[in-house]
Amino acid sequence: MGKGEHKNGGKYPTPNQKVPMMVLPDGTQLGESVAICRWVEEALGDSGLLFGREPVERALIEMWQRRVELELLSGAVGKAWINGPVLEGLRKARGLEGHDSELQLGLGAAQSFYREMDQVLSGRSYLAGQSFSIADITLLCVLDFGAGPVRVPTRWTELPHLTAWHKRVSERPSVQQAHPNPYIKGEQRYGEYKDNGVWRPRL
């Protein structure tokens, strides 16, 4: 993405100029992460790995997947990202204005969601129950994105169950191989949130 290789004229152009995109052996192009995960699960021949096996399990996974997407990513972290300091230059270049009120709403909504997740995870190993699912993948990616470039204050010491879940999921071999967080290194990610003197969110 940094080199624009997914754009027209790039090394790996995608139909909608966005990522992710997977090209299947027969040439079929799949966009959107959930669609790709569904293909992976079906292609492995072990239905239920990420989307559940029984009706209740499937419904719970779908519920949490949607909540993380809509409430945390779109309604909180995304709002803070669009109106935050990292995109200030891009906003100016496009003649757009950032809104501090929206930034603060996003930050506050993220904190509220994190506290709810901490309570939910106090009685289970994974977000939708006792099995790892796509809902855990989505929550991990959004949480790391928020704690990294979006700079959402993540007060790990106040969120013991969410922290334990994060450590458990991050230790999975597939996560270690495919999702090493480039923004937060080692144990410091679980320390107290410290203002770096650059950005002081009002929380």
Q: What is the pLDDT along the chain (203 residues), one digit of tens a residue?
A: 677 787 877 777 777 777 788 888 898 888 888 998 899 888 877 666 899 989 999 999 999 999 999 999 999 999 999 998 888 888 889 888 889 899 999 999 999 999 999 999 998 999 999 999 999 999 999 998 888 888 888 888 899 999 999 989 988 888 888 766 655 554 456 655 555 433 344 33
CA–CA distance, 139 with 124 (Å, rounded to integer): 15
Q: What are phi and psi of 186, to 5 degrees?
A: 55, -150
Distances (CA, A) of 126 to 38, 87, 99, 152, 164: 19, 33, 35, 22, 10
CATH of domain 55-190: 1.20.1050.10
CA–CA distance, 142 with 78 (Å, rounded to integer): 9
| Cα-trace Rg, the chain | 18
pLDDT at 198: 38
Distances (CA, A) of 17 to 7, 9, 27: 5, 10, 17
Here the tokens at position 21 are: 């995109």
